[in-house]
Amino acid sequence: MEELLEIMKSTLASGEDIMISGFGKFQVNEKAPRKGRNPATGGDMVLKKRRTVTFSCAGKLRGRINGNE
C-alpha cells in the first residue's frame, strides 16, 4: 500500500492525472495567482499560482455508496 501511495504522489507531482477504473479520477488543476486578504491583518495580498488535486468519484462507486447498484 505504501508503494502504491508513493507512485500516486510522484505521478500527481509530475502533473499527470490518475484514473482508477470503477473508483474515480484524481486530477491536477492549476490555480492562477489572485488577490486575497490576510485574515490576521485585513490587508490585501497576492496569492501565488499553485496546483491542487481534485477527486471525481466514478459512477459505479457513487451508485454503490448510494445503494443504487
Is 0.85 topped by the overall pTM?
Answer: no
Residue 5: its pLDDT value, please? 96
Confidence check: pLDDT of 44 > 80: yes
Residue 69: its pLDDT value, please? 65
CB 32 within 8 A of CB 50: no
* DSSP label at residue 58: -
Q: Is 59 helix (H, G, I), strand (E, B) or coil?
A: helix
Question: In this structure, what C-alpha cell is assigned to residue 60?
Answer: 459505479
pLDDT (average), residues 34-57? 95
Residue 68: its pLDDT value, please? 80
Tell me, which fold does domain 2-65 have in CATH? HU Protein; Chain A (4.10.520)
Confidence check: pLDDT of 50 > 90: yes
